[in-house]
Every structure is written in structure tokens, then in C-alpha cells.
Chain A
Amino acid sequence: MGRIAALTRNPVMIALVAMLAITGCASKKTPNSAADLGLNGAGAATPGSAQDFTVNIGDRIFFDTDSSSIRADAQTTLARQAQWLNQYRQYAIVIEGHADERGTREYNLALGARRAAATRDFLVAKGVSAQRLKTISYGKERPVAVCDDISCWSQNRRAVTTLSGAGS
């Protein structure tokens, strides 16, 4: 809650957030946008912030089993990411590649690396400077969903674009 506390202490930021809440509703139809989720005010993201990227652009894409091909739905997300990253050039970017648990450890480290590289290459093709992009594989070491069936595995087969550097 540190972020909210900081925002409420800053009158300028509050005004900005309120504006975003209004324009967000009017102009954007991203289903996951903070405004649509009823997060008016404190939770809504400043354009160009890391939170804006995560919430309004979408920081992750998903893969099919044992595949590092960028799916059509993922291409849409990555195109949006590239546009945003080209607008906000202050960020360095680390792409994390992950695998689900339905593979052996070392193979999955390699598979996560391949997914991260495929994601990086797509962003580079969309104009993001390769100099800003690094990759890391976590294999199956960092699951976000922990059940023992496909509903979780499909969420864990992912590449996450994380921001670092100025402004994050």
C-alpha cells in the first residue's frame, strides 16, 4: 500500500489519477484496465508507469505445451507492448521465460530460454531496441499457478516482460 500512501500525499498525482480514471473509461476498452475493474483513483496507473504497462498493456504472453511459437493472441499483446516500450524509452527490459511442470528440469530451463528469446525477437522485429532487452529463463522454478492440472499449467507456460531502470 506504499504506492497509494505516496499518491495521496501528492496533490498533483491525485489530480492526474482522477483524470486518468475518467479518460480511461471514455477512451479505452482494455478489459483489464484499472478503471474497468473499479479501481478508480488509487489503483489506476499513471501512463508510462510500470503499473500502466502491467495493467493496461499486459506484461505476459502464454505458450502451447512444449512450444515457443508466439501464438496469435500473444502477437497482439506483444505488438501492444512494443508500441508502449517504443513510447517510453527510459526502461530497460528483462524478459523472463517460464515453463510448466510437465517437463524435466534441465529441458525446461532450455525451453524457458527459448520462449524468452522468441519473445525478445518479436519485440525487436516491432522496433524495440535489442540493446534494451535481456532475457532470463526460470524453467519451471517460478510457477504462478500451483494446481495439478491444465488450468494451471497453461498459466505457467509464459514469458513475462519486466521493466527496470529509470521510472520503474
Chain B
Amino acid sequence: MRSFLKPLLTIAAMALGMTAAAPLPAWALVELNVNKGNVEPLPIAITDFQGGDALGAEISDIVSADLKRSGLFAPIDKSAFIEKISNPDAQPRFDDWKVINAQALVTGSVGKEADGRIRAQYRLWDTFAGQQMSGEQFFANDANTRRVAHIIADAIYERLTGEKGYFDTRVVFIDESGAKNARKKRLAIMDQDGANVRYLSDGRAIVLTPRFSPNRQEITYMSYESGQPKVYLLQIETGQRELVGNFPGMTFAPRFSPDGQKVIMSLLRDDGNSNIFAMDLRSRSTTRLTNSTAIDTSPSYSPDGSKVVFTSDRGGRAQIYVMGADGSGQTRISFGDGVYSTPVWSPRGDLIAFTKQTGGEFQIGVMKTDGSGERILSSGFQQEGPTWAPNGRVLMFFRDANGGPKLVSVDLTGRNEQSIPTSNFASDPAWSPLLE
């Protein structure tokens, strides 16, 4: 069986022709400004896709759930719909949708081609302007129904917000089961909405902190499988694993460089302190970036690869520092009241997410890359480890609340917190880039 992560060669997008009689000026079209402080969710009607029996309703449900969880959309209950869509390509009766306050309307159809592929198409309508906003069709393998739905949700999100979507993505994480003092930890991967969980390790060794490669095909993580905790590389498709580097001591806290050519990580020194190294995956050469008698860990590259943000306790307690990718110019940027760790650079480059401990709480927050403009998005008794959605608008982290950790997402307003359903406890999430 080919891997589930194999890029979908057969997903092909094609624009559908506009059916509106006359083009309207752009100002008439509904749109969301996600940069405003308080965004009212946009009422949107997502009708069942026509054809394909249960498939049509399934696709519309997945699209609806994606948009709803973003906090930017309020899908309208299907029972309120007045017009029953019979031809998704025909212009709908806009008055029927305006009266239930659906500002946007999605119609679509799904069916099987003679060669067995699924064909899905959607149209997005602005009901108040009385106009089609976008329309596309996709072809995909039978096994990728959910991906088609996520891709459609991304297209709608992008058309209405002007931002890239993040629904056609996956999350690697650690699945946790068993008692707290005897936890079984397994490397796992799933869709961003919690569907399609697959296990990538058997639970015999402790595994921690998985992170996606920018090419989506590899994961770097830490494992105790050899006895000594070490950083590994895993090819998701083949299951092939290899040790990263040949260092004498513990290696931990790995992350890929934005070009995927390097892994940056911490290496334990013999004196008990930890420094940051980068290893080139092709030449196997390593570069030392820090050399302090302190804990230097949790390095994360800026998206252009020119800088690295990391945690260090060189000033007494853990704080956030930024340096050049060659280790130059190490500068502290966090000065708030508390302990800062797990910095992660946003894929947009504008913000750094972190965990802050203060007043007996663990907070998830963001700051600008010079340390200014700190904002706390979520506070709790025990929570940590933010990871960015590829559009830089949503964070996922884990919260230990009822006997074990669970995954939670929060958007940059801090107002839209969502739990990610997992059957077991789950920790250390890392978001993939958009799939392709």
C-alpha cells in the first residue's frame, strides 16, 4: 500500500465558470477582515453536496466542521434551509438564503468517474450581492474523501478571508496511554481535525517532541530506544529510521531548518549543560551555535532561515533569546515576569509563540520577534508546547487537565479555543505545512 502521505497527484483543481449574469464591483462581495480585533463569525450555509449518496453529506459536514472550528464562520443549521438545492450549478434563489441571514452559500456535487476517481466540485455564492464568488472542481483517489473536503474548506476560507487555509494538514503528536507513572508513549500522526490516526511507533520506548520536515515526508523526534535518549529521523512512507549525528551524549529538542537540509538540536555537554548544534543532513557536518555553561535548548529557525530563537537559563532562569543562524549576536528578547520556554517562530515570520510560567500558571502566548508586544492567548494549570498552523493564525498546544494531556488549538485573538478529539491522551503536537 502506498503511503497516506503520498502527495495526491490526482487532486487536480479546475476553476468553474461563473454563472452570475453581470460582474459586480468587488466592494459588494462579502469578506472577513481577520485582522480586526473582534471578528463576528460569518453566517454561511453549506448545503449537502449532490450525488454520491452519503458522500455528499459527509463532504459538506467536514467542510462545515473545519470552517466552524476556525472561529471565523458560523455554519447555519441545515434544518433552517428553505431552498432545496437540486442543481448545484444553477443560480440559487438568493432571497431564500438572505432571509435566513446566510451571507455566503456553498453548493456542490460529488460523483465517481468511470476510472474510479472521485470528482467533487463546489461553488461559493455571495447571497447579498447575488453573485458567485468562486468555484472549483477536484479529482481524487477514493481513499481521500476527507482531503477533498479539507481542500474545499481551504478554498472557501481563503476566498472569504484573504488568508491561506490550514485544513488540508496533518499533525504529528505523542499518543499517551496508561497510568501517569507508567505512560506508554507512541508516535502518531493524524489529520488536523483528529481523523485518520496512525501510529508510527510501537510504544516500547519513550518517544518525544516529533516535528515535521518542510517536505512533509519526514519527522525528526527524540527516542529512548537505544537506552540513551537521542534524536532520530523517520521517513513516514517507508518507516525507515536513522540516528541524527554521532554525538557522545544525549541529543534532544530537534527541529528542521526551513529548507529541510538541517536539523537543529541540543547536545548535552559533559558538565551537565546543554548547547545548540545544527547538523547538515547531507554532508553530516555539524556546527556549534552556542557555547555557554547554561541550558540552551528548544531552538527554532525563522522561516527565512537567517535566525534562530531558543531558550536559555544563562541569565538565571529560562528566557527567550534570538541569534543569527551562525550563532552570532545572541540577544535576550523576553523580559516579562516569569519563566519563558518552547519558543517557536511563526511561519509568517512576524511572531514567536512561547510557553510562559508565572503565578503558578502555564500560559501560551506570542510576542514580536524583538520581544515586544507580548500577548497571552491561553492560561491554565499545566499546558505547554505551541505549534503553528501553516498560515500563522492558529496555535495548537497540549493541556494536562483531567489526568492526562489533550490537544487544544487557539487562534491569535485568544477567543477561539477548540479541543482536538483524540481517543487517548495526546501531547507534543507539531503541525505540518499544507499538504500538496
Contact = CB atoms under 8 A, between A and B. Distances in A.
A116 B250 CA distance: 12
A141 B318 CA distance: 20
A19 to B, nearest CB: 36
A81 interface: no
Contacts, number: 94
B206 A104 contact: no
Interface string B332-366: 00000001011000000000000101000000000
Interface of B: 179-181, 183, 185, 206, 208-209, 222, 227-229, 249-250, 252-253, 266, 268, 270-274, 295, 297-298, 311, 313, 317-318, 339, 341-342, 355, 357, 381-382, 384-385, 400, 427-428
Contact of A141 (B208, B228, B266, B382): B208
Contacts of B271: 117
Interface in A114-145: 114-118, 121, 135-139, 141-145
Given A103-B357, A104-B355, A141 B206 contact: yes
Interface stretch (A9-17, A82-90, A105-113): A105-113
B181 A106 contact: no
Given A105-B209, A118-B272, A141-B208, A110 B357 contact: no
B228 A136 contact: yes
A106 B180 contact: no
B209 A106 contact: yes
Nearest to A94: B227
A117 B341 CA distance: 22
B273 A101 contact: no
Instruction: Give chain A's interface secondary structure class.
Output: mixed
A146 interface: yes
A68 interface: yes
B381 A107 contact: no
Given A141-B208, A146-B181, A106 B253 contact: yes
Interface residues of A, number: 31
A81 to B, nearest CB: 18
Contacts of B180: 143, 146
Contacts of B385: 104-105
B223 to A, nearest CB: 12
A107 B298 contact: yes
Contacts of B270: 117
29 contacts: A105-B208, A105-B384, A105-B428, A106-B252, A106-B253, A106-B298, A107-B295, A107-B297, A107-B311, A109-B208, A109-B222, A109-B250, A109-B252, A109-B253, A110-B274, A110-B295, A110-B297, A111-B295, A113-B274, A116-B272, A117-B272, A118-B272, A121-B272, A135-B272, A136-B227, A136-B228, A137-B250, A146-B179, A148-B382
A71 interface: no
